[in-house]
Structures are given as C-alpha cells and as structure tokens.
Amino acid sequence: MPLIHTRLITWVMALVLMIPIAIGLIGTLLPAFQYFPPLGEYQLSLSPWRDLFSHGEFYASLKLTLITGIGAPILSLWLALSLLAWGYQRPFFTKIEALLSPLLAIPHAAIAIGLLFLLSPSGWLVRVFSPWLTGFERPPNWISVQDPYGVSLIIALVIKEMPYLLFVMLTTMKSIKARESLQVGQALGYSRFTLWRKVLIPQLYPIVRLPIFIVVAFSLTVVDLALVIGPNTPSTLAVTLLRWFNNPDLSMRFMASAGAVFLMLCVVSVLAGWELSHKLTSKITRSERSNGKRAGLSDNLLRLGVIVGLLALLNGFVALVLLPIWSLARRWRFPDALPSQWTLSNLERAGPLLLELTTNTLLIAFLSTLLACAISLIMLETKRQDMDKQHQHTKNHLFDWLIYVPILLPQIGFLFGLHVLLIYLELNGDLCAIIALHLMYVLPYVYLTLKGPYLSYEEGYLQQANRIHYRPWRNYLGIKIAMLKPAMFTAFAIGFSVSIAQYLPTLIAGEGRYSTLTTEAVAQAASGDRKQVGSMAMLQAFFPILVFWLAQFIPRRWTRWRLFIKQCVIRSKHFFFKKDTQC
Amino acid sequence: MKKTFIAASMAAAFMLSSVSALAVTSNDQWQQTLEQAKGQTVYFNAWGGADNINDYIQWAADRIEQEYDVTLKQVKLTDASDAVNRVLAEKAAGKNSEGSIDLIWLNGENFRAMKDNALLFGPFSHNLPNYAHYVDESARQSLTQDFGTPVDGMESPWGMAQVIFMHDTETLATPPKSMNELLSYAQANPGRITYPEPPQFLGSTFLKQALHELTPDTSLLSNPVDQVDFHAVTAPLWAYLDQLHQVAWRNGQTFPSSSEEMMRLLDDQEIDVALSFDISAASIQIDRGNLPDSVRSYVFTKGTIGNTHFLAIPYNSSAKAGAQVVANFMLSPEAQIRKQNPTVWGDLSVLSYAKLSKEQQQAFDTIPRGIATLSIEELGQTLPEPHSSWVTALEKEWRERYAQ
C-alpha cells in the first residue's frame, strides 16, 4: 500500500483507540474510590474496597472464577494441541476442520443452552438411555449442570475455545513449516506425537500466545455463558459484579466498580503467571526435548487429549443439533428421545421479529467488520514499512498492544464507564455507537488473523509488478490483496461472527433501541423457554455459519469466476461490436 | 319582561359556564397534554421476556398511534433495573433533558431507588382522566403503597399480580397448601421441591411468603427493616430453609432462575410444584405446549403475596406528554379488559369494578379463563408485600447463607 506519513498514521490510530479505553477505565476507576458526582459523591475514599474485601460472596466468586478461568484455557490448549498433532495433514482431518467453523461461529449463549439441553438431568443424554437402561421414569436428582464446582461451565468454555485455538493454530502451520518439519522428523524416526511435542509445539506457542491470552481473559470475565450454564450460588466474579451493578441499591455500584478493577488486576496477574509457568515449563523440558529419544511417555498425554477433544467436539455438535429440534417441537416430555408432537408455530411466532433483528444484526456486523478489515490493513502496512526501514522483525507497534486492551479487560466495568462518554457525545442509542463498540471487539480478532499472512507475504511479487507497470494502488489490490484472499476472507468471517456474538456492547451502546439476534436470544435464554431459545439460536447461528462457509468456498473459485465473468464481458463486447458494424 | 328574561338567561349562562369552568381546567390541561403529545415517540422500557406481553404492548402501540398520533416503541429489558441505571448514567452525564427513556414499567425497589434519587417526573397519575374515573385507591393498599413506599402520584398503576402455585394432577393429586406442608412433602419426596433463586423477584417473593407464614408477628413486616430486630423476626425463616434445602431439588445447591424455568422443570417432571406471579401462566403454557394439560393452579390456604405494578416517567424524558397519554390509555377499560384476557396476558385489572359502566362490567365478566386459571374468588386472600427495605435485607442474608 503506497502509504505516506506512516508514523503519523500510527499515532493518530493509537490515539483514536486510546481515548475510549482511557475514559472507560477512568469511568470505572473513580467510582471504585467512591467518586461519583451523580450520586453526590465527591470525596475519594477506600470504603468500596473495604466493603469488597469484607464481602463473603466476593471470595467465593473469585475462587470459582480462578478455577474456571484458568482450568478452561489449560484444557482447551491441551485438547487443541492434541487434536492438531493427531490430525494435521491427514485426509479425514480436513473434514473436522470444516466442521470447526459452526462451533466457532455460534454465539456462546446458544452453545450453553444447547449443552443444558444435552447434559441436564432431564437432558437428551439421559433421555436416550431412559427408561430402558437407567430405569428412570422421571429425571434423576443430579447436579450435572450449573454445578457448584463450575465443571459444566468449564466444559462449555472448552467447547467454545478449543475450536478457536485450533483454528488459529491451523492458520500458522505454513509459517512454522510444519509439513517440512514433520517429513524430516519422521524420516529420522520420531513418532508423530513426539515430534509435535519436541519440535512443533515449542515453535507454535509464541505465535499463538496472544490468542491464548485472549482465551484466558475471556474465560475469566465471560458473562453470558456463565449466566446460562455457570453455578449461581455463588456465580463467577463477572456475573456477581453484573448483579451488583444492576442492583437497585445504587450504592452497590461503588463496590461493583472496585470489584471490576480487581477483576482487571486478576486478569493481568493470571496472564503474568501463565507466561511465567510457560517459561518454567520450557526450561524444565528443554533437556528432555533434546535427548534424542524418538518416543516418550508424555506422548500419551497428547493421545488422551485426542480422545477427550473428540468427545468435546461431539458434545458441541449434538448440542447444536438439539437447537433446531427444540425449535420445531410442540410436546417433548421426559423420557422421549424425540418430540411427540411437532409444529412450525414456534418459528412462525418469531417470523416478524426476525426481519428487523436480521437487518440490524447484519448491518452492524458487516459495517464493523469491513471497517476492522480496512483499519487492520492500514495498520499492518505501516508496521511492515517500519520493519523494512529499521530491519527489525521483532519490534511491535504501539497499537499492537493497545488493540488487545478492550478484549483483555472485563466488559462490565469498562463498558459502563464508556457509556457515560457516549451520553456526553449524544451518541447513546445510536447505530454508529454500536458499530464503534463492536469495532473495538472485532478489530483485534481481524488484526490478529491477518497479521501473520500479511507480514509474511513475499513483497517481491508486488515490487516486480510495480517495476513492470507502476500503478501502486491497483497492483496492491490486484496482486497483494488478491494473493492474500484466503486470509482476508477468514479474517472477515471471524470478525463477522465476533460481532454477531456481542451482547453487552450492543446492549449498552444501543440502549435496547437496536436489538440484534444475540440480545434477543440472551433475553429469551433467561426465560427458559427452550422452543423460543432454540428458534432464536438457530437463526443466530445461520449467518455466521453461512459466512464461514463462504469464506472457504469463495477464495478457491474466485479466479475461475472472475475469468468467466471477464470472458462473458469480452464476448458480449464482441457481440455488440459486430452488431454495430453490421448496422 | 324581555329584559328580565335576558338577564335571567345571561345569569343562567354565567352559572353554567362557571360550573363547567371547574371541570374545564383539568380537561383543558389534559387537552393541552394531548396536543403536546401529538407526533411524539415514547420509548417504553419494559421487561421483554414474555412474548404475550410484548404482543400486548404492540397492540397498545397500534391503538395509541391511531387514536393519539403518539408512537410507542418498546425497549425490551431483561430487568427493570437496567432502565434505572440508564437514567442514572444520563444524570451522571448531565443530560437533564432529552433522555433516552420516556416510560418505565416498574415497582418496589426500582421505584424506591428512582424516587429517592429524584429521577422521576411527577406527580402525574392523578391528572390522568382514566385514573380519576376508574381507579379506587381505597380498594387495595398496594395502589398507594408500592412495597411500603408511598406512591404520591409519581407512578400510574398498570396491573396487579398475585403468587400462584402449579402442580401436575397426574403426579401430585393433593398439593401442599402451606409452607409447612411443602416441607413435609419435600421430606417425603426429596428433590422435587425448589424455588427461584433470590434476588430474582419471584425468589424473593417466595422468601416473603415463607416469612409471612412463619414469623409470629406479621405486623412487624410493614415497618422498615432497620426499625425491627431482623434476626429475631427472620430466625424461623432460616431454620425452615435450612431444613428445606437438605431435601430440595439438587440438594439446594442450585436454584432455577425464573418462573419460566420452574415451569420447564415441572414439564420435565424434575420438580412437582412451580410458582408464578402470573395467575394465568399455567393456561398460557398449556396452550403453547409447554405444560401438560393436567397441570392446575392453586393458592395457599392462608393466602399468597400480591402487589401492583406501575408505569413511571423519568425526570429527563423527552416525551413526557406522550408518556402520560400512554399511561392513560393503559388505564382505559378497553386496554385493561384486553390485558386481563388470559390468552392475551391474563394480568389482573387495577380498575374498580364498581366504577365501571354496565357494559364494561359485562365485558369483564365475559373474559374467558383458561382451564388452569383460578377465578378472583378462588385466588382468595392477598397478603401484603413487606416494606420494600425487606427485599434487600432478605436477599443479602439469603446470599450470605446459601450462596457462598
């Protein structure tokens, strides 16, 4: 991209990103120290913190948050690596890869509801085996979902996060030359899992470090998923905070703000701890990795991971299949494995709403993702030019770090602070405000997905083209972007599904004036009507799945279609030209 | 003769005009409100979790558009406190006019929070023609005392609710009709009894219902909680819950999140008794295929908790006239009759039956009831809500005891 003033662009972009983040943070920090003019509080004080630390539910929630928030990413990482090591470059694995996108695309709340349908004592799993095997005429009094230990929450998190990690890892395979390493290693007699463990995973980890951090921060701070499938006596810290923020007793807000600040500190320290333990692990295992043994006992860890990972995937899919079944059910009582009466009226009822919700959802998702793609390209180009000039390949931009701040911060505390800014700007309840907030959450994912392919692009093609015919913009689009098509489409699909899944940002910026499929589905999820939820979730899942499918379908056929259209145009020109001469 | 006639008729004319002048001032004021309201858009923040209620609001919106040229738009909330927070955020930003919310559906704690923080417009309800015509304030304490907080015209009544219980006659023929019977039933059938998790409002209401039945002196409950010995008054409640949780659904470690979830569990036969604040909930869910048609409603022998819900206007609303027009329409016999229809919503009317015309009374009499809905007589006695300060105290104590 023939950009000039790259340094200026970098700074302007960084500033534009920084302002809302800073104001959101200040809007949370000040109430945490009792400063909140609308409630007549102008004195800084530590009392919110004293309240917080003397609150029993805070400690219980914190414990649960740490267990689920650290347990889920470790499990997800383990399973994703195991599946990758087991299946990479094997023919059947491409089918699993293709099946990942629906799991990735579907909003968390919908997955959680699906899992409730599947795993609860009256769920499908028990229904299938009842009463012929289990003898249950009525559902057993088990605690298989919303359990106080957070196991079901961890399962839901893993089902949502493992596909994401696997997806990100698959896109980096080329840059670590995985295939070549495997070929060389296998020729040297290393077993497949050992090779991954000793050679590929240590190379892979630094590249996917940020996605892992995102997953950790997400697990520690998620609200909608924890609301649906997490325990509620106590809930995770994020949900407890949300309840405090929404408490009619407005003075609870101070303690909630202090809690939100604490949750941020929590995220930071868990990430620091995570990085430290990675350093430690790689130090401890260094001698083992280079001992030359062709197989090892810890390979079994990966083998076990494959089985658990496949089970988790299967769980996710069955949960997804249950959604449309529920949306078509009229009567479906325990222990029937399938509905006894079917109907279309659940869907008919949702029909008129659908049009409005779909328009809003698609408009927001398309605009925010397109903007995110454009900004990502500009930022990556300035980064590339900087790197070229300084011949430093490790140096990071300022906003390389900045853009991750929104997704690493807990949404609840941060967004309330931001809401006050929107009201000052009279942008509250405005479509632009929703798109801007979505952009904050879409941008990091799009940027992250594009970063690797864009920076590793062989610039020589473009330079050569410009030497032959100097048309910098046209060549940039026609050659570089065209060659990066698969990455562009993937980034778009990911950004799109991220936008569709946003709940709190849509609600807070849109003030409920703009409902999307997600805000509606979560509002319905609370009501517990499985038919409604099933219908909503199905609709909500349809568009991201479609876009993911298109992202895989179009790039391969793009050139063929383009040439075909070009040919048609040429032919028709000839045709008209002949006609003209005849006349 | 002619003169006297003219004088007399003039005097009569003066008399007439001065008599009507009294009526005209309030009528004029209302006409003015109607004029101002024309063309306004009213953003109505209302809980959006039930389709039938959303449909009813949409029906009202169409009627109001037709008749008054006011556009009513529902902003669906998961909790009324979201709206309270939004008005507060607007006040924080110094947005004292042109606020984003024009009308809120609320009661109890949310009303108290808004009233105490001066976030409300009013008093206005007494100026609504339909309020003056059809509402009898002495009919129910909850019309003037919203969970113990004086209403003072700052909100306009919309409907009434009462706690009902539901049971499936095929699995449970004679349901437990008091708190103690409920406990003995749970002890005989472990895992089949539960209640929504406080602070969900129905869960808190269950606590209030239990407290009302178990505490020796119920008159203490109408005082603010800091004026009584909370621990002494509530001790029987916690002792009761400690026993109940041991034999409750999922051993009292998890609780359903709402009435809707309870009905789902009843349908799944995970539990035997569900509760709701909507007297026609059972009929509606049977109609939708969400409950078997053997489910019936019932109330406790000594009565169940009931309350009134209201519409209020934030102080910074940009369409206060339009909001009043909406509140007035919602109080019309037409709107209240439709609302009480169980296939529409089934929410109890706030109008005084005695103040209605013959035709209107007849219309109320002919409202069909679903197969599982109790009649007004069958609903029996309504127990008053405790003072609204009790809710927070009970919820806090509950969470400290059972949610850590």
Contact assignment for A143 to B197 by CB distance below 8 Å = no
Q: Which residues pair with A329 in a beta bridge?
A: A342
Q: What pLDDT, on the 0 to 100 scale, is given for residue A446? A: 92
Torsion of CA B337, B343, B347, B352, to 10 degrees: 20
Cα separation, A80 vs A100, whole angstroms: 11
B287 touches chain A (CB under 8 A): no
Cα separation, B300 vs B287, whole angstroms: 25
H helix count then E strand count, chain B: 15, 11
Average confidence (pLDDT) over A154-176: 88
Q: What pLDDT, on the 0 to 100 scale, is given for residue A151? A: 92
A582 has pLDDT over 90: no
Q: What pLDDT, on the 0 to 100 scale, is given for residue B25? A: 62
More confident residue, B355 or A295: B355
More confident residue, A337 or B331: B331
B49 has pLDDT over 60: yes
pLDDT in tens, B157-189: 999 889 999 999 999 999 999 999 999 999 999
Give the global pTM.
0.78
From chain A, pick out residues whose CB is under 8 angstroms from the CB of B57.
none
From chain A, pick out residues whose CB is under 8 angstroms from the CB of B394.
none
Across chain A, mean pLDDT equals 85
**Is residue A335 reached through a cis peptide bond, with omega within 30 degrees of 0 on the bond before it?**
yes
B274 touches chain A (CB under 8 A): no
Q: Could you say which residues from 90 to 109 on chain B have a Cβ atom under 8 Å away from some Cβ of chain A?
A: 90-95, 100, 109
Q: Tell me which residue of A115, A132, A133 sits closest to A124, measured CA to CA.
A: A115
By CA distance, what is B267's nearest residue in A?
A: A333
Which of A139, A147, A511 has its CB closest to that of B100?
A: A511
- On whether the CB atoms of residues A161 and A132 are closer than 8 A, the answer is no
**Top mean-pLDDT range of A115-119, A234-238, A286-290, B60-64:** B60-64
B276 has pLDDT over 90: yes
Average confidence (pLDDT) over A403-430: 78
Q: Could you say which residues from 273 to 292 on chain A have a Cβ atom under 8 Å away from some Cβ of chain B?
A: none
A429 has pLDDT over 80: no
B164-306+382-402 has the same fold as B21-159+308-369: yes
B152 has pLDDT over 90: yes
pLDDT in tens, A277-322: 999 998 988 888 888 787 777 788 888 999 999 999 898 888 888 8
Q: What pLDDT, on the 0 to 100 scale, is given for residue A117? A: 82
Q: What pLDDT, on the 0 to 100 scale, is given for residue B22? A: 45
By CA distance, what is A139's nearest residue in B?
A: B270
Strands (E) in B67-154, as ranges, are 71-77, 103-106, 145-146, 149-150
Task: Give me the residue spans of the domains in chain B.
Answer: 21-159+308-369, 164-306+382-402
Q: Could you say which residues from 59 to 98 on chain A have a Cβ atom under 8 Å away from some Cβ of chain B?
A: 59-60
Average confidence (pLDDT) over A565-577: 84
Both tokens of A386, joined, read 């900087």
By CA distance, what is A137's nearest residue in B?
A: B269
Q: What is the CATH number of domain B21-159+308-369?
A: 3.40.190.10
Contact assignment for B92 to A38 by CB distance below 8 Å = yes
Both tokens of B263, joined, read 């009905």
* Nearest chain B Cα distance for residue A426, angstroms: 9
A423 touches chain B (CB under 8 A): yes
Average confidence (pLDDT) over A174-192: 85
Fold type of domain A1-45+349-583? MetI-like fold (1.10.3720)
Contact assignment for B290 to A511 by CB distance below 8 Å = no
B40 has pLDDT over 90: yes
Contact assignment for A331 to B289 by CB distance below 8 Å = yes
pLDDT in tens, A315-359: 888 888 888 888 888 888 888 888 988 888 877 876 777 788 888
More confident residue, A148 or A76: A76
From chain A, pick out residues whose CB is under 8 angstroms from the CB of B400.
56-57
Domain A50-320 superfamily per CATH:
MetI-like (1.10.3720.10)
Q: Tell me which residue of B314, B310, B319, B325 sits closest to B127, measured CA to CA.
A: B325
The CATH number of B164-306+382-402, from 2.60.40.10, 3.40.190.10, 3.40.50.720, 3.40.30.10, is: 3.40.190.10
B255 touches chain A (CB under 8 A): yes
ipTM for this prediction: 0.76
Q: Tell me which residue of B114, B134, B94, B93 sits closest to B312, measured CA to CA.
A: B114
By CA distance, what is B76's nearest residue in A?
A: A512
Q: Tell me which residue of A215, A220, A263, A224 sits closest to A241, measured CA to CA.
A: A263
Of the pLDDT bands very low, low, confident and very high (cuts 50, 70, 90), residue A229 is confident
Q: What pLDDT, on the 0 to 100 scale, is given for residue A36? A: 80
From chain A, pick out residues whose CB is under 8 angstroms from the CB of B392.
248-249
Helices A151-172 and A299-327, axial angle in degrees (round to 10): 110
Backbone angles phi, psi at B75, to 5 degrees: -105, 110
Picking from A170-184, A495-509, A515-529, B190-204, which range would have the lowest pLDDT averaged per residue? A515-529
By CA distance, what is A124's nearest residue in B?
A: B268
Task: Give me the residue spans of the domains in chain A.
Answer: 1-45+349-583, 50-320
A336 touches chain B (CB under 8 A): no
Cα separation, A480 vs A499, whole angstroms: 27
Q: What pLDDT, on the 0 to 100 scale, is given for residue A472? A: 86
Cα separation, A207 vs A569, whole angstroms: 44
Of the pLDDT bands very low, low, confident and very high (cuts 50, 70, 90), residue A228 is confident
A526 has pLDDT over 70: no
Average confidence (pLDDT) over A43-67: 92
From chain A, pick out residues whose CB is under 8 angstroms from the CB of B89.
38, 416, 419-420, 423
* Segment holding A234, helix H or strand E: none
